[in-house]
Amino acid sequence: MTPPSKVKVLIVEDSPVVQQLLAHIVGEDPRLEVAGVASSGEEALRMVERARPDVVSLDIRLPGIDGFEVTKRLMRQHPVPIVVVAADVNDLDIPMRALQAGALAVVEKPVGLGRADYQAVARHLCTQLHGMSQVKVIRQRTERLAVRPRVPPAPCAAAPARPPGGRYTALGLVASTGGPPALVKVLSGLPRAFPLPIFLVQHIGAPFVAGFAQWLETVCPFPVELGRTGTRPLSGRVYVAPGDVHMTVEHGAIRLTGDPPVCSQRPSGDVLFSSLASAYGVGAVGVLLTGMGEDGARGLLDMRRAGSYTIAEHASTAVIHSMPGTAVRLGAAVEELPLPQVAPRLVALASQQMEGV
């Protein structure tokens, strides 16, 4: 049997020491191989055309044109999956600007063999490089990642009955790769008077979660905060699952746990959705957006079985359709909607409550 081809990685990094470290990490992974090393943005643009890598490991702080501009130009001229490798995890601006420019993921940069978590950071980098290499990106003509248009199906007709009194009481959102721009699209489409608390799981490196929550508050109409054990959720507020813990809702309050990862994720969308099914039942709404893997699909199925209203993003707009697609195959989704139709559906579901505000 012919062994699978290795994923070709172009490393873009200006520090010679870090170049060697990243090349060592990539070379040690049997799934990956180094296609080349570029020391500047200009060199990276030239090498992508020549080396044809499957994925790019990109530093943001580069001499000449920076990584944001490199990302934008590559997505316009030579589309390729890009994983940003960031050294300063406290710079709240880097992850979101990179994802808006067209990068698929942002990971922490391994800084040295002596750090206690070096092996974990290195493994995560390789996993992201391999996983993102499978994403089929196409030429970007706008400021967001382009996807191939497809005709959306008709909404599922087997909708559950309205909850008692016609009132929904909680909304759960789960997303992974491609999630931040999708979440902005959904949340910015909701009115300030939206009457449900919003619980959110976004797969992103734990060091970046606090920055993600702060950024999200600047681009959506709601207050945003990290979930904390004991917090009693309020309507019109977004609660983001912190890094490396699961977030659940039990007895009317948020609870964080260090239970083992589910679907290799912590926080897990499955855990959040299943808790919403138990806590709110027919009063809950669950939305599973773009992402790689299967996290969230079985939790969404728990919600549907509990009578909740469940929505999966359609393949025509999902950067990666694996998570919502799994939910659809399991029969977990009441509706499968393109991204622009998600917020209007949520507004329609909550309209009775808003009319009384």
Report, as residue numbers or ranges, the catalytic residues.
176, 203, 295
What b/e string do you get for 66-92 counting C-beta neighbours within 10 Å, with b at 16 or more?
Answer: ebbebbbbbbeeebbbbbbbbbebeeb
Torsion over CA of 11, 14, 19 and 25, rounded to 10 degrees? -50
Phi, then psi, of 190 in degrees rounded to 5: -100, 145
Q: What angle is formed at CA 171 by the lines to CA 167 and CA 172, rounded to 5 degrees?
A: 155
SS3 (DSSP) at 336: strand
Which of these, 95, 52, 106, lies nearest to 74 by C-alpha position?
52
Separation of alpha carbons 352 and 357, rounded Å: 9
Strand (E) or helix (H) holding 34: strand 32-38
Q: What angle is formed at CA 227 by the lines to CA 224 and CA 233, rounded to 5 degrees?
A: 75
| Burial tier of 6 (Cβ tally within 10 Å: 0-12, 13-18, 19+) | middle
The stretches of the chain forming alpha helices (DSSP H) are 16-28, 41-51, 67-77, 93-101, 118-132, 179-188, 209-219, 269-280, 297-305, 322-330, 342-355
Separation of alpha carbons 205 and 70, rounded Å: 22
Which of these, 193, 225, 233, lies nearest to 209 by C-alpha position?
225
Plot region of 314 (φ>0 → left; ψ -120 to 50 → alpha; else → beta): beta
Separation of alpha carbons 13 and 159, rounded Å: 51
